[in-house]
Structure 1
Amino acid sequence: MKTNKITQAIGALAILGMSVPAVAADQTGWFIGGSGGRAHATIAEKEIIADLLAAGFETTDFSTDRKDFGYKLFAGYQFNPKFAIEAGYFDLGTFDYTATTDPSGSKFGTLSFSGWNLDFVGTMPLTERAALIGRFGVHEGKTNTNFVGTGAVNVLTPHYQSKDFDFKIGVGYQYQISDSWTFRLEAERFRMDDAVGNAGDIDLFSMGVIYRFGARKHAPVAAPAPAPAPTPAPAPPVAATEQYCSALEMQFEIGQDSVERVNREHIQVLATFMTTYPTTKAIIQGHTDNVGTIEDNQALSEQRAQRVVDFLIREHRIAASRLSAVGYGETRPTASNSTVEGQQANRRINAVIDCANDMAGLSTLPARTTLAMALEFDANSATVDAKYHHQLENVAKYLHANPDLIVTLEGHTDNANPAMAQAISEQRAQNVADYLVNHFRVDRSRLNVEGFGATRRDTYNITASHRQDNRRVNIILGYPK
């Protein structure tokens, strides 16, 4: 046997990992699995021909069957999301060759290879469900080699067998189908001894599945509890004590806990209500989607709720004694986490406040109108698409009609080019500002331009359309403070 390169297979698997829609598995514990596919060996043709020539035979024809079905069965333990150990049994099949000689005769040989292996497996997440894996291990392989001679070729020892320890390596791609099941594609190389003095390799290209024991199940999606209607106002108005009178709905970008500019108007509504009714209290509730570990999501939900509390105290002078922050992690979804839209809906803040009889405070103040729109861009492009020209004209008209308004242009991008992300996000926002100035004579001093690179995602960059959603400029209009 001789080495047979698997570079093309490694490259193909890497490309597949980058392009297949993809939560990297966060389970730990025991798992079992199996896979099967094509095994390929390179017959040591030159060595065999040289051996026949040394015995007085010239080889006139040499044919081989280098492929067979191979499989492996294994069990393992996942120590953390990036490291596991696997042990199992493999059978790589049988390979053969036929050498036709002069003087007239032939030599027929077969080789079969099986054994036990122990591998260390590393995982590199690509997306929330997809990951590349790499393995390095050792195996105890058993090789059976048989020879048959015809005509002038006489085989003195028709059977050889060897058992030896050697190493193996591999790369692969895996996709988490569910909490318990994971699909794998792999390319592996087994170093082996063919029992007659030739060392070489057998490659196995396989697909299979693994089953994880005790994988945690995400909490079932629960419908949100309807909010009771506010208590009708008696005369004179008196603040009531019943809760769930108002809910503040505020969504977050992926992995973020900061209060974005576009959400500050919603908080202003809550602040107005609490200022109007100084005896009311509010519980700020933080929630997440189910991406990531339970512990991380719990911490993130608490951070989000606390950020809103801090913002109300700092910016709106609401007494800290009237506010409390609670995080529920991923335990209270309002939509299905199986879709990107559902995940986005679950990354939210709710505010539960005491009821008051006069609900006027829940209307946005007329002097603080905030509008928002998003312009999408092609990959690595900062050109303002013509389809947005009419909308930008409407924005300009609105600005001319409301001379006290200011505009913030927030540029964003996907994760396709980290080196250019910040620059291209700033350029996108700047190009929108230039368009408003050059085409509609908007005063540049009213335009604030900011770039955030790929740090603020609306979606998980899974598909082309999701990446398109993240390549955007948000236009936020509001009055200066």
Structure 2
Amino acid sequence: MISRPSSTSRLLGLSTLALLSTAALAQTPLPSYYYGGVSVGQSQTRLDEGELTRHQLGAATEVAGFDSDERDTAYRLFLGYQFNRFMALEGGYFDLGEARFTADTTVPLGTLSGKLKTRGWHLDLVGSLPVTPRFSVLGRIGAHHGKTKAEYVGTGLAVPAFPEASKSKTNYKYGAGLQYEITPAMLVRGEWERYRVSHVADGRHNVDVASVSLVFPFGRAMQPAPRQVAAAPDVAPPPAPMPAPVAAPAEPVPQRVSFSAESLFGFDQEQIRPEGRRDLDAFTQTLQGTQYETIRITGHTDRLGSSEYNQRLSERRAMAVRNYLVTTRGLEASRITAIGMGETQPVTRPEVCVGERRTAALVACLQPDRRVDVDVTGTR
């Protein structure tokens, strides 16, 4: 059996991780989403064979030795809700497998064989601490309601008092692990968990599970935006005046509107803020009476962070603006394209915004680079 001080210290450590994650929620939010997953691994049940044997044969039982098989396959099916970068609520069904033992007894003379298996439901608070944009450290603490079924068979004079028995009770569980984002639509986890389980001898034992999980977020992955779009010039000369009194058809005139990323989105977010929606609403008002041919939306980021992460963030933000103009403002989807350029087209100069480490001064200096450009080509 695992000693109580060891279990308590680990539980306090995971609780501290969850509290630290909660304290950081207001600093770096992320879009929330639902997810589901499956976990498979190996369980090891920490049985007290002597306690279980005496429960079946009596307190005066004398045991010569035990033969135990405490390892088996465990699995878990779960659903969860990711509130933000640091915290999720997760629940599901688990099966901890089966543990067996055989006791050779001298009083009474014979053998007692038993097997126990536990299944049930759990609800966990899962804290995550990002190390890189894709790699995180996990900690979890929660409760589970498990049902332990036991079967006993005796030989000789070792006759079990309760050949079949079961017990259901709610206990705590906790664990820790690592998570890696393969794609926005699939994550992989490696975890260790401990379940505190009540058995039919009115006692408790631990079941440790080492597992690998696949996690599938719902609706989090963005569809790729069109990449090959002819760039419109930033400024075009006005059309030449016509000598005839009858006006000729107007030529398409490009127009660019640039939105600051901070006005549209929260820090490191891709969901449009209420202030950003008002800016986009005002922009669509200016299109009234315009026969626009194309609207091209381009997302940009500053140079802080990895190029791969910045590219994906710029694509998601450009797609978020496109989706808002189509679904909320009713613009024609076939005329609107969205692309992300990441950090490749800054408007600031390196000699002005000096440095690579993130500081408050450098973040403020690079603010013009964090933007979304909307280019409209049309006629009035």
Q: TM-score, normalised by structure 1?
A: 0.47
User: How do 1:375-390 residues align onto structure 2 when only pairs under 5 Å count?
Assistant: none
23, 33, 37: which one aligns with 2:37: 33
Q: Structure 1 residue 127: deviation in Å?
A: 1.3
Maintained 8 Å contact 2:307/2:342:
no
299, 322, 325: which one aligns with 1:330: 299
Cα distance between partner residues in 2 of 1:84 and 1:95: 32
Instruction: Count residues in correspondence.
Output: 277
Deviations 1:404-438 (A, max 9, x none): xxxx9x88679xxxxxxxxxxxxxxxxxxxxxxxx
| Residue 212 of structure 2: aligned partner | 207
Maintained 8 Å contact 2:53/2:112:
no
Q: From the two aligned structures, give the one with the greater strand fraction.
A: 2
Maintained 8 Å contact 1:287/1:347:
no
327, 336, 342: which one aligns with 1:346: 342
Q: Structure 1 residue 199: deviation in Å?
A: 1.0
58, 63, 68: which one aligns with 1:64: 68
2:48 is equivalent to residue 44 of structure 1:
yes
5+ residue gaps, structure 2, are 18-27, 240-254, 277-296, 315-340, 364-380
Cα distance between partner residues in 1 of 2:159 and 2:216: 51
Cα distance between partner residues in 1 of 2:69 and 2:113: 11
Query: Which is greater in Rg?
Result: 1
2:146 is equivalent to residue 170 of structure 1:
no
Ranked by relative contact order (alpha carbons within 8 Å, sequence separation 6 or more), the top structure is 2
Cα distance between partner residues in 1 of 2:298 and 2:124: 36
Cα distance between partner residues in 2 of 1:53 and 1:148: 11
Percentage of pairs with the same residue: 27
Tell me the C-alpha RMSD between the 2 structures: 4.6
| Residue 161 of structure 1: aligned partner | 166
Cα gap change, 1:223/1:97 in structure 2, threshold over 3 Å: closer, same or farther?
A: same
Q: Structure 1 residue 119: deviation in Å?
A: 1.8
Q: Structure 1 residue 284: deviation in Å?
A: 7.2
| Residue 105 of structure 2: aligned partner | 101
| Residue 78 of structure 2: aligned partner | 74
Deviations 1:270-305 (A, max 9, x none): xxxxxxxxxxx99878789x99322589x99xxxxx
Q: Structure 1 residue 124: deviation in Å?
A: 2.0
Deviations 1:141-174 (A, max 9, x none): 1010111111231222211111111222122222
Deviations 1:239-267 (A, max 9, x none): x569xxxxxxxxxxxxxxxxxxxxxxxxx
Cα gap change, 1:411/1:284 in structure 2, threshold over 3 Å: closer, same or farther?
A: closer
Cα gap change, 1:101/1:164 in structure 2, threshold over 3 Å: closer, same or farther?
A: same
Maintained 8 Å contact 1:44/1:198:
no
Cα distance between partner residues in 2 of 1:349 and 1:99: 74
Maintained 8 Å contact 1:219/1:331:
no
Say which SS state the counterpart of residue 47 (structure 1) adopts: helix
User: How do 1:416-435 residues align onto structure 2 when only pairs under 5 Å count?
Assistant: none
| Residue 292 of structure 1: aligned partner | 268
Deviations 1:184-219 (A, max 9, x none): 222221111111111122122111112222214165
Cα distance between partner residues in 2 of 1:287 and 1:101: 75
2:186 is equivalent to residue 192 of structure 1:
no
